[in-house]
Every structure is written in C-alpha cells, then in structure tokens.
C-alpha cells in the first residue's frame, strides 16, 4: 500500500500553550486534526468554565482561518474543584473532560490533586453524568524510581479508584509500559488509554546511548524496548480502548537544553507521519484508521468526523526550529526524512 485514506483524525491529548507559543504551534495540530483535547496545565491552570471559555477563544483566534478545527476543553482538577462547576461546564458543552495531575508529577502540575480522597465528590458527579477523567498516571513518591512510577500508579491509585468508581470513564494518558497495556486489556470498566507517537518510536536507549537527547525527554519517561514493543502491539492490535493522543508538548529550546531540562516533546509537526510509519512497520496499516479516527470518538461518545485525510508513501523532511532566539522550539525528528507524508 502506497497511500491510505482515513476519516479525519483527532488528537486526544495536546498542549497548545498560550500567548506567542500558542500562535506558533496551533496550526500544526489544526492542519491535520479535526478536534483536539486541549490540556489545561497553563500558568495559571484552566480550573473553571470561565477560564476554559477564554482559553478556547484565544485558541480559535490564534488558529489560521483555513482550518476547520475544534478545540475540546478540559478542566484542571484541584483539591478544591467544585463538582457543580464541572457538571455545569459539561452540560453547557464547554468542558469535555477533566484532567487529573497528581500534584508535582509533571510540567505545571503543582496545583494538581493531593489524593483521590480529596476529589471524591467530583468523581461521583463525573461518574453520574458520564464526564471522562483524564489521568497523568504516575506516582510522585520520591522513593519510587522514575522508571517505575507509572506501574506503581496502577496498583496504588488507579486500581482502587476504578474499584470505587466502576462506571467512571477514565483515560490513562500517554501510557508507556506493558503493565499499563495489560491493565487496560484486563479492565472491565470504561477505561482506555492514549498512546503517543514518540513512545511508539523511542525507547530509553534512543534517549541515552551515545549522548543524551533532551528532545526525547518527556514524562512519563520513555522506557526499555520491551515496553515500547508492548505499546506498538497495543496500538496496532485492534483493541478499541487504545487511541491516538500525541501529547505534543513544546518547550523553548532554552528550557530543553539546560542543566535541568523541561519534560515534553513537540511532536505536532510530524505526528501523523510518525504514527503511520509505525503502523506500516508493524504491517498494520489496516488498523490505523480505527486508532486515529474511530476509537477516540467512540470512547468520548462523539461522532466520527466528516471528511477524509490521505497519507502517501512519499518522503518528507521535518522542518527546522520555529521562532528565534530564546523563544525557538524544536520539532520532534527535526531535519529527518520520514517515509510518509500527509497528502
Ligand atoms: N508530557 C510531558 O513531558 N510534558 C507535558 C505535561 C504532561 O503531559 O505530563 C507538558 O506540559 O510539558
Ligand atoms: Zn502527562
Ligand atoms: Zn501531556
């Protein structure tokens, strides 16, 4: 197969940032995805309806007019979130989902949740109204090795939480381990997972052998090759509970090339090209459309997009840095030639 046409895909996990960076990055998402679940970890975070509406307006104002792009907004869960605010936002169509960051687990998560106990009232309401909970699934216990933080989260936090809220829709975001794949597949509750392109393509050897590559550094951190292969098997295996979420997360190069570098990979400029390459390598191009365009909407209870997108086996070179000076940001696989392009 030298070309594949799919229903227009969506990205179920993006960081569009704000201000100048929003202006720089939004078109890379909007030109290939019809909808995107927009993460709320701004400074200050998007914690209520008012901020979600204002942020959605800024995104739409920054988005070039030729794109038909719908940002789906999320609320940043805190220990003091009012459940009634979530219910109102969901009913009004402003809030599509709620994001749970364990406090201090990742970029801009300091205002996150201290424990599931602190947000029981919110989870009860969300379970009742069918509002999805999106989870950054890592423990923050300093005694737990960074490579084990996702697996430990499954047993310490996720398993008890879904036992208490068995009808709550939960998306375990950006999974990185065979443990998570197995957990999802064994689950009998409405639990799904997003998988990024970079976790399908990169393992910790790529990041650390022969020099440290800060543009592969993200959270949860990339794991060993056997975990990477488990993710590739999950994405291409046809189980509808796995779907596309890039976690495109731009940071200025100055923040990445630093003695204490930021976590996040800016994948939007070559996201679909990277995903389709993985499906091709796994001889699973026939499974690509469901992963990119059907499974996410089905989980969220939204319609599949109208219109199509075509990818062809035509080499394409990933462009260079965006912007200049301190504000420049570097695309994932910058300067590399990829085997597939968006037609
Ligand atoms: N994935 C990352 O490494 N970083 C994300 C936050 C997140 O999704 O955890 C960011 O906002 O930079
Ligand atoms: Zn995260
Ligand atoms: Zn993210």
Nearest-angstrom CA–CA distance, 10 and 101: 22
Q: What is the ipTM of this complex?
A: 0.99
Determine whether the annotation assigns residue 203 to a binding site: no
Number of domains in the chain: 1
Is the shortest distance between the CB of 329 and ligand 1 below 6 Å?
no
- Nearest ligand 1 atom, CA 264: 3
Residue 129 lies in a domain: yes
Nearest-angstrom CA–CA distance, 273 and 237: 19
User: Could you tell me the distance, in angstroms and rounded to a whole number, from the CA of residue 225 to the centre of ligand 2?
Assistant: 21
- Nearest ligand 1 atom, CA 251: 12
* CATH code for the domain of 291: 3.20.20.140
Residue 203 lies in a domain: yes
Residue 83 lies in a domain: yes
The H helix count followed by the E strand count for the chain is: 14, 13
Mutate to test the pocket of ligand 1, among 77, 173, 263 (most ligand atoms within 8 A of CB): 263
Q: List, in sequence order, every residue forming a beta bridge with 312; answer none if it has no partner.
A: 3, 341
User: Could you tell me the distance, in angstroms and rounded to a whole number, from the CA of residue 66 to the centre of ligand 2?
Assistant: 30
User: Could you tell me the distance, in angstroms and rounded to a whole number, from the CA of residue 90 to the centre of ligand 2?
Assistant: 22
Atom 6 (ligand 1): residue with closest C-alpha? 107
Tens-of-pLDDT digits for all 343 residues of the chain? 999 999 999 999 999 999 999 999 999 999 999 999 999 999 999 999 999 999 999 999 999 999 999 999 999 999 999 999 999 999 999 999 999 999 999 999 999 999 999 999 999 999 999 999 999 999 999 999 999 999 999 999 999 999 999 999 999 999 999 999 999 999 999 999 999 999 999 999 999 999 999 999 999 999 999 999 999 999 999 999 999 999 999 999 999 999 999 999 999 999 999 999 999 999 999 999 999 999 999 999 999 999 999 999 999 999 999 999 888 999 999 999 999 999 9
Is the shortest distance between the CB of 309 and ligand 1 below 6 Å?
no
The model's pTM: 0.98
Residue 179 annotated in active site? no
User: Could you tell me the distance, in angstroms and rounded to a whole number, from the CA of residue 36 to the centre of ligand 2?
Assistant: 15
Residue 329 lies in a domain: no
Is the shortest distance between the CB of 15 and ligand 1 below 6 Å?
yes
H/E segment holding residue 308: strand 308-312
Atom 2 (ligand 1): residue with closest C-alpha? 264
Residue 197 lies in a domain: yes
Determine whether the annotation assigns residue 99 to a binding site: yes
**The pLDDT of residue 326:** 84
What end-to-end distance do the CA atoms of the chain give, in Å?
15
Nearest to 126 by CA among 85, 180, 159: 85
List, as one string, the DSSP characters of 23-81.
HHHHHHHHTT-SEEEEP---SS---SHHHHHHHHHHHHHHS-TT---EEEEEEE--TT-
**The pLDDT of residue 327:** 87
Residue 194 lies in a domain: yes
Q: Which domain holds residue 155?
A: 10-213+220-249+281-298
Q: Given 145, 247, 286, 321, which residue is catalytic?
A: 247
Strand bridging mode 308-312 / 341-342 = antiparallel
Mutate to test the pocket of ligand 1, among 108, 247, 250, 265 (most ligand atoms within 8 A of CB): 247
């Amino acid at each position: 197969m030298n070309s594949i046409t799919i229903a227009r895909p969506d990205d179920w996990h993006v960081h569009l940032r704000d201000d100048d960076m929003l202006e720089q990055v939004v078109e890379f998402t909007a030109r290939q995805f019809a909808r995107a679940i927009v993460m709320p970890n701004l400074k200050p975070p998007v914690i209520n309806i008012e901020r979600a509406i204002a942020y959605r307006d800024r995104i739409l104002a920054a988005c070039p007019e030729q794109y038909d792009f719908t940002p789906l907004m999320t609320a940043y869960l805190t220990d003091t979130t009012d459940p009634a605010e979530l219910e109102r936002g969901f009913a009004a169509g402003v809030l599509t989902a709620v994001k749970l960051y364990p406090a201090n687990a990742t970029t801009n998560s300091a205002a996150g949740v201290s424990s599931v106990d602190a947000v029981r009232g919110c989870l009860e309401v969300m379970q009742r109204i069918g509002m999805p909970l999106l989870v950054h699934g890592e423990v923050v216990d300093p005694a737990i090795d960074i490579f084990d933080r996702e697996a430990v989260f499954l047993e310490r936090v996720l398993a008890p939480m879904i036992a208490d809220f068995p009808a709550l829709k939960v998306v375990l975001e950006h999974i990185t381990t065979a443990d998570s794949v197995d957990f999802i597949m064994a689950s009998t509750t409405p639990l799904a997972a997003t998988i990024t392109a970079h976790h399908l393509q990169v393992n910790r050897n790529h990041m650390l052998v022969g020099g440290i590559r800060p543009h592969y550094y993200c959270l949860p951190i990339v794991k060993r090759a056997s975990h990477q292969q488990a993710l590739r098997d999950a994405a291409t295996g046809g189980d509808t509970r796995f779907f596309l979420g890039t976690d495109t997360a731009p940071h200025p190069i100055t923040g990445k090339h630093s003695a204490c570098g930021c976590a996040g990979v800016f994948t939007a400029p070559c996201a679909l090209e990277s995903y389709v390459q993985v499906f091709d390598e796994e001889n699973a191009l026939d499974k690509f459309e469901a992963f990119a365009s059907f499974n996410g909407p089905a989980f969220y209870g939204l319609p599949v997009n109208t219109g199509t997108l075509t990818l062809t086996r035509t080499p394409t070179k990933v462009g260079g840095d965006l912007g200049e000076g301190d504000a420049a940001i570097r695309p994932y696989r910058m300067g590399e030639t990829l085997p597939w392009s968006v037609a």
